[in-house]
Amino acid sequence: MHVKPGAFHARIGIVSNEPIRQAGLASAFEDDQAVKTVCGDLETILADPTVGYLILDVGGASSWTELLFMVRRLRPDIRQIVLGPAGNDELVMRSITAGARAYLDSASGPFQVRQAVETVMLGFIWAPRRLLSTLIDRLLSQPVAVVPASEQELSPRERQVLDLIMTACSNREIAMELGIEERTVKAYVASLLRKTGANNRVALSVQATLRGQRPNLN
């Protein structure tokens, strides 16, 4: 899916151990005046609250899935696009489960990277369709924690936040939609996780779906 330049106003962090590779990834967006790319080390980029997307070239790092979990824990509002080893479907599955919104072969060119980022900006996941289907089946097959009814009672605002989480909105997007501070959204998300017993946002969405708490899109 292609989005015309200027359709988004986004700040994208790019992390790679290879400076030439980093510059090549940044070049994918050089003709889009609405997109600002920031190249640097991961710590510096995560410390920048204006960065909403992260292109992470994991290369051959052995602990890269742990790295994805760390980014999600520190900055749950950032949407991650991962470039990693090719030819291993399980690695793709693990990266999506760890928090990535897109997974590409590390040899992917600027055009493919840009397509993936634009897809993520639209709220979708970029990965082979067969793997997404397998991932959903795997998540739905996991046992749902049984939570006392009193703990499942959500406030009207918590239900609004849950609706938006189920439509793949980030904390920042939820804050903008509801007209509240992002830190307030984080507090609501923490409350939802505590009340439902879910470990993360994906598990929270799956549990809500299984309980029939469909998002209200009206």
Taking 90 as the threshold, does the pLDDT of residue 179 lie above it? yes
Total-model pTM: 0.58
Q: Which residue has the higher pLDDT, 103 or 66?
A: 103
- Taking alpha carbons only, the member of 180, 143, 140, 142 closest to residue 158 is 180
**Residue-wise pLDDT tens digits, 23-32:** 889 988 988 8
Cα–Cα distance between 152 and 213 in angstroms, integer? 11
Q: Which residue has the higher pLDDT, 67 or 147?
A: 67
The alpha carbon of 77 is separated from its chain's Cα centroid by a whole number of angstroms, namely 7
Cα–Cα distance between 48 and 157 in angstroms, integer? 28
What CATH number labels 142-210?
Answer: 1.10.10.10
- The whole-number average pLDDT for the span 66-92 is 82
**Paired strand residues for 81:** 55, 102
Fold of 10-136: Rossmann fold (3.40.50)
The domains of the chain are located at 10-136, 142-210
**Residue-wise pLDDT tens digits, 131-152:** 767 766 766 665 554 444 334 5
130-133 contacts: CB < 8 A, separation 24 or more?
A: 131/89, 131/92, 131/93, 131/96, 132/96
